[in-house]
Amino acid sequence: MQTGVDTVPLSKKLGGMFAISRWHLVLALLVFAVEVIIATRLPHVSWIRAYLGDVLVVVLLYAMIRSVLRINDYLVLLMVFVFACGIEFAQYFHVAERLGYVRGDVMYTIIGNTFSWGDIICYAAGCAITGLIVLLSGVYRRIHR
């Protein structure tokens, strides 16, 4: 009897899109640990926090997404770059303050408060470096099959 309720599991509908990648999960945890060290132990080394932190944050987002989703790496990198730029432009329009967050609030820290084209360049560099590593690892795997 047809009930009108779809009984196909979500995982089948999405074509196995959800899958845990241990490698990407470990990468995400390692990059997160490095980001925490940069934020807590190296705040006085401004270029590391300002530039390396921004390069690594897109690697962290990429690895987090790829640790649970089996989708095209370059699509993930594009989505991460667009998201990072969106956050950066939210800083330009002072969205954190407009939402009522004040310095010291977790959301204020996440959204940020200072727009910088340099940050967008760092996000692009992080995505480009990650994309190059993905490309080279694919070439290496094809050669050594």
**pLDDT, tens digit (0-9, with 9 covering 90-100), for 98-142:** 999 998 888 888 888 899 999 999 999 999 999 999 999 999 889
Dihedral, CA atoms, 117, 34, 75, 12, nearest 10 degrees?
-150
pLDDT of residue 27: 97
Cα–Cα distance for residue pair 6/8, rounded to 1 Å: 6
2 occurs within a structural domain: no
As for how many domains the chain has, the answer is 1
pLDDT of residue 39: 86
3 occurs within a structural domain: no
> Cα–Cα distances in Å, from 17 out to 13, 20, 49, 73?
9, 10, 34, 13
Task: Give 8's DSSP letter.
Answer: S
1 occurs within a structural domain: no
Q: Is the pLDDT of residue 8 over 70?
A: no
Structural domain for 90, as ranges: 19-143
6 occurs within a structural domain: no
101 occurs within a structural domain: yes
37 occurs within a structural domain: yes
pLDDT of residue 1: 44
> Cα–Cα distances in Å, from 129 out to 31, 82, 121, 133, 142?
14, 16, 12, 6, 20
In the chain, where does DSSP find H-type helix? Answer: 10-13, 22-41, 46-47, 53-66, 73-92, 95-98, 106-111, 117-143
Give the amino acid at 1. Answer: M
pLDDT of residue 110: 83
Q: What is the pTM of this model?
A: 0.83
Name the pLDDT band for 4 (thresholds 50, 70, 90). very low
